Structure 1
């Protein structure tokens, strides 16, 4: 999904001892004979509610327990999911989806079109507090309902009967079908949510899904256990009988586990080990459509002054940072990463470079002096907050030293992932680490993040012209004009220095060769539900 990234980069590795996992594994071979896949997924998730989650690690659990109208197959294609087919009107505004008659929830009850209507309107309801509500603004009157200017009955999603869902859009959206396999578009059960409230997605007994797996155990801060959902409509195609997802951000332990052969894969390894693992041919590195960046609280002095924000950004040596991380990342010269098509070539190339790849200290010092802080004099201490991870620490320490060259004192504060999310959402920070991976392959998946109405815009920055350009782009059917609107929007975002892009992500992963038929998306999702273990 448009996703918050927990780790500095993403890696696929696994576990040292059964005690570390919280499960007593004898060895990976025993697990493989039973088609049990063990994976270190990341930190303890803040939310596993499809309507509330914004984090990638949690999304990788959600996509195994739930399924949308469409799904992504093992080749990365969008294919029918809960909907066996659909039709689209000639004007591209009305979609009619036909739900499979054998679509069932994990407790055996039928999945209906009403479940989708409820879930989408629930995410749009401002009382729900979904940071991803804006992802549903493509639906007619979705934004108006969210803003209290329309009723739920006005929203363009309606179950015509139990198996037919009709969706009307505000404007033709070429990637709408792809959006329907995004977690915010997943169905949830009204009876479950209303009975158990916010706790429904925290207990395996009430975490009822409609996907290939069902949750059977959640040992908080240790692991989540998923078992094959035999009520899933396509259960016959799922080979794995169990997935055990370890909740860990201990990179050293993750690597030790994989090396010991006691797990099948994991995310997060020590950056200093990457060169050795590359030499030994044990890791793979692939582009990821994502950006690592720092948020700046634009309403908190001294960041209310654009010159200060610009000075901080220009003082960063992005080439030095990617060399420090050693995973073939690229310095971020804009916000939209490489790998997204523009008018005739890559959007990043067409939009241009807004930031230098090395520091421009002379200009940074000049700007800081103009803002009233010559050589940093009078500048308050800046606190950078980040979630606990060795890679984040290295980046923060490097930037701390770079900003010290401006005469600025910098305090570093690390915290649990959930705490960081809460502080960013409450805008209780000065500078905060962030990361974003696209939900679909289009510049819009990055740029609408910073609209004034986006629940994921935690910068306290807004710009009416920016909002207008994004709205124009969303309604424009001419590809060239649409891209031009987004190029103009990114220019506003970057020239106002509302954020500090640092580098473009890569996907670094370790995975045992006996794991077959999986798909790792450049959008960040790990589709291991199709995998099988072959020895």
Structure 2
């Protein structure tokens, strides 16, 4: 009988071959492995790639990193985040916060305009936030719960009241926005830089398809969309009506649409792209060792506060059984994945919250270790048999793992499936899906296991926990647990930061130990390439990138 070779071993061999081939071609561009875009400094046109086409450009409906990057170019909230991830004036030129932390009064600048020349007013923010919270908005905004910090917002969104005047957001005049919170929320100011809080031009109420056509997208940020060729290209041009136009150096940002990491890297090498890699693109993992040698000054590999994980549909068989979920989570080798497959310096994950996220006094991960479960093949086999017995299985039903189209996601999926075969004797089918289809299937619970990742919306553990509550529009695992909801709600309402962190640790125990709803794999690093003459690109703690103040020397 022929001995079956491990798929992971074969992948490793391919990675080695790929590294050698990459090294052979590294001298073709003058010895540094990539060409400069010589026209960039003159034209100030930035070329980047998106590995997936954003499903929507409506700030109320967006929920993915691809849309985040583009929306950040086209819109601006009350504040924006600077290079240190701290809130600085955006549409609001200043603000007052009451001594009890419950009332925020934002004073809007009078030179803020929409791309069509209309003034941006406080009423535009009220209109946009009401639209997010309105229970009749179709489809339902997935991030409506992010506005629940505001007094009366949850009651309005859940139809406990139909009177929006009871919600704590009011335009006292055209340039003054008054916001009243339920509880003191230290990170609320920074949260207003998030796209769900962006203003929306009031003309959208008469056109349900406004976000599908650049001609009807009236925006208030540094750039406006001028080209959208589905599946090929998105372009945004400098907005002459933006209030801080003098600090915007780029004339255009052109975004190709390709989910091929090899194509992205090739385009970067040839000078067609000025930036490649995270968070919106991808550098082939097998090329990283060679790139370290060829382009050390253009490559960055920094740990960021984001996580890569698989999630189980807790309503689908056989993963409606916690023991079976635990067996799958415990039977893979995370260190082998980051060492031999991803190769970006990632750290194996055994919790939901990554390093770098604030805790009570230090990082949350320093104060609460991620030791919620361990890799243990023998224990995994035992749990699998117990779970199968409880469900009356002699063999498991067919199992499928879905992931969005990406070479990296494919390699990880094949490696993990091979480990499940080797360690549990379970055959798992893997299937790649186009980004929009993938998101729709996850949201509708049309899957068993799905690839996932989470970039925090603000620097507090809450952003990793409120999405799994029963009322969250981002809860796409079917998990409903009253104890978990109570812990997150306690942390939501408490002013005691030590207690909040303890509540989060208990919630994390439920999520990734007791129930094993999620299968953490690794904490991200941001692996990217950037041309030496491209300056002003801002990368935040979560791995997000802001290109709006970039320029070429």
TM-score by length of structure 1 reads: 0.92
SS at match of 2:419: helix
SS at match of 1:501: strand
Residue 499 in structure 1 maps to residue 499 in structure 2: no
Cα distance, 1:498–1:59 mapped onto 2, change above 3 Å: same
1:372 aligned to which of 385, 388, 397: 388
Structure-1 separation of matches of 2:477 and 2:528:
31
The C-alpha deviation readout for 1:182-235, integer Å capped at 9, x for no partner, is 1000000122x12221x2111111111000011111111111111110100110
Deviation of the 1:504 alpha carbon:
0.7
Structure-1 separation of matches of 2:248 and 2:389:
61
Deviation of the 1:27 alpha carbon:
7.9
Structure-1 separation of matches of 2:290 and 2:231:
30
SS at match of 2:416: helix
SS at match of 1:413: strand
SS at match of 1:371: helix
Structure 2 residue aligned with 1:190? 202
SS at match of 2:215: coil
Q: Is the 8 A contact 1:373 1:379 kept in 2?
A: no
Q: Is the 8 A contact 2:83 2:540 kept in 1?
A: no
Structure-2 separation of matches of 1:244 and 1:500:
36
Residue 425 in structure 1 maps to residue 438 in structure 2: no
Residue 246 in structure 1 maps to residue 256 in structure 2: yes
Structure 1 residue aligned with 2:13? none
The C-alpha deviation readout for 1:366-411, integer Å capped at 9, x for no partner, is 011112359x841111100001111111111111111112121211
Structure 1 residue aligned with 2:27? none
Cα distance, 1:502–1:278 mapped onto 2, change above 3 Å: same
Deviation of the 1:514 alpha carbon:
0.3
Structure 2: runs of 5 or more not aligned:
1-34
* RMSD, matched Cα: 1.7
Q: Is the 8 A contact 1:74 1:517 kept in 2?
A: no
Cα distance, 1:436–1:476 mapped onto 2, change above 3 Å: same
Where do residues 257-296 of structure 1 align in structure 2 (5 Å cutoff)?
257-266=267-276, 267-280=281-294, 281=296, 282-296=298-312
1:45 aligned to which of 54, 60, 69: 54
Higher relative contact order (CA closer than 8 Å, sequence separation 6+): 1
Structure-1 separation of matches of 2:300 and 2:330:
32
Residue 523 in structure 1 maps to residue 542 in structure 2: yes
Structure-2 separation of matches of 1:143 and 1:118:
16
Structure-1 separation of matches of 2:458 and 2:273:
31
Structure 1 residue aligned with 2:429? 411
Structure-2 separation of matches of 1:487 and 1:309:
20
- Worse-superposed segment, 311-320 or 336-345: 336-345
SS at match of 1:104: coil
SS at match of 2:424: coil
1:339 aligned to which of 348, 356, 380: 356
SS at match of 1:372: helix
The C-alpha deviation readout for 1:75-125, integer Å capped at 9, x for no partner, is 433100001111111111111111111110000000010100111111112
Residue 65 in structure 1 maps to residue 65 in structure 2: no
SS at match of 2:179: strand
Deviation of the 1:486 alpha carbon:
1.2
Structure 2 residue aligned with 1:512? 531
SS at match of 1:29: coil
Deviation of the 1:246 alpha carbon:
1.4
Structure 1 residue aligned with 2:335? 319
Structure-1 separation of matches of 2:238 and 2:413:
41
Deviation of the 1:525 alpha carbon:
2.3
Structure-1 separation of matches of 2:84 and 2:159:
41
The C-alpha deviation readout for 1:131-165, integer Å capped at 9, x for no partner, is 11111111111111111112222111111111111
Structure 2 residue aligned with 1:173? 185
Structure 2 residue aligned with 1:235? 245
Structure-2 separation of matches of 1:204 and 1:250:
26
Residue 142 in structure 1 maps to residue 184 in structure 2: no
Residue 388 in structure 1 maps to residue 405 in structure 2: yes
Deviation of the 1:449 alpha carbon:
1.3
TM-score by length of structure 2 reads: 0.89
Deviation of the 1:498 alpha carbon:
1.0
- Worse-superposed segment, 286-295 or 58-67: 286-295
Structure-2 separation of matches of 1:353 and 1:212:
40
SS at match of 2:414: helix
Q: Is the 8 A contact 2:168 2:179 kept in 1?
A: yes
Structure-1 separation of matches of 2:160 and 2:239:
41
Q: Is the 8 A contact 1:56 1:524 kept in 2?
A: no
Structure 1: runs of 5 or more not aligned:
1-25
Structure-1 separation of matches of 2:155 and 2:350:
35
Deviation of the 1:345 alpha carbon:
3.0
